[in-house]
Every structure is written in structure tokens, then in C-alpha cells.
Amino acid sequence: MARNCAPPLGGASIVPERLVEAMVDDVLNTPDQEILDEVREDYGDPDKLANEMAVSLRPAH
């Protein structure tokens, strides 16, 4: 998956817009359970990962 889809300074996008749209459509049309299964396979417990992300995004006090 493309990491940086922003066009370089003064140039055209490295990733064609149609490819980006197709990739986004693919993700949006993938059933939630399939994504969760892939996350579980690649990274472990999706709930634990979600909690860790939530903690990291909390505002500092």
C-alpha cells in the first residue's frame, strides 16, 4: 500500500489517482470481520491495539 500519496513539490502524484481511489474502495468494501481477522493475524488483539491507540491520542494534561 502506498505510504505517501501526496504529490512531490511541483510535480504530479507518484501514485495515480485512480489507483488510490481503487485502494480506498477496496478497504471501504472489505467486511469489518475480514479486516479484524487480518489485524489479529498480523498484529495481535485488535481491541488491545485500539486501546493503546486511544491512550496515545489522549490530550496531555
| Structural domain total, the chain | 1
Residue 12 lies in a domain: no
In a domain, 42, yes or no: yes
Report the alpha-carbon distance of residue 32 to residue 28 in Å, rounded: 9
Do the domain assignments include residue 4? no
Structure pTM?
Answer: 0.55
- Within-domain flag for 3: no
In a domain, 33, yes or no: yes
In a domain, 31, yes or no: yes
Q: Residue 10 domain-assigned?
A: no
Residue 29 domain flag: yes
Q: Which domain holds residue 29?
A: 17-57
Secondary structure of 7-41 in HEC code, one letter for each residue? CCCCCCCCCCHHHHHHHHHHHHCCCHHHHHHHHHH
pLDDT digits (tens, 9 = 90+) for 16-50: 889 999 999 999 999 999 999 999 999 999 999 99
